[in-house]
Amino acid sequence: MKRTTQSDHHCPRPLARVIWGNIERARYIAGVTDEQLSEALGVSPRSLSNYRRDPSVITLRQLEAVAKCFDLPPEALLGA
């Protein structure tokens, strides 16, 4: 049986880049600041830049929180 690790809950990189692009577009449209986005993700504003460099670290729980911040269903952030 495979042991589950923290990284098993992260998005594959190509999908994560699409999701992060959708997050950035939604953030711009909603007028949400970096500070508000980092609060929704539950990370510091400085950590937000790490998410931009490596978007595969976003978890499903964080994706749901971000979607709620934008008043969107999580599925809206998943599409290309």
Confirm whether 3 is domain-assigned: no
Nearest CA to 23 out of 75, 77, 80, 79 is that of: 77
Distance separating alpha carbons of residues 16 and 62, to the nearest angstrom: 12
Q: Which two tokens stand for residue 73?
A: 């269903």
Q: What is the pLDDT of residue 2?
A: 47
- Residue 43 per-residue DSSP state: S
Confirm whether 2 is domain-assigned: no
Confirm whether 73 is domain-assigned: yes
Mean predicted confidence (pLDDT) in 33-53: 87
Confirm whether 72 is domain-assigned: yes
Confirm whether 24 is domain-assigned: yes
Q: What is the pLDDT of residue 11?
A: 60
What's 55's domain CATH number? Answer: 1.10.260.40
Confirm whether 1 is domain-assigned: no
Question: pLDDT grade, residue 10 (50/70/90)?
Answer: low
Q: How many domains does the chain have?
A: 1
Confirm whether 65 is domain-assigned: yes
Please check whether residue 19 is in contact with residue 65, taking contact to mean a CB–CB distance below 8 angstroms.
no
Distance separating alpha carbons of residues 67 and 50, to the nearest angstrom: 19
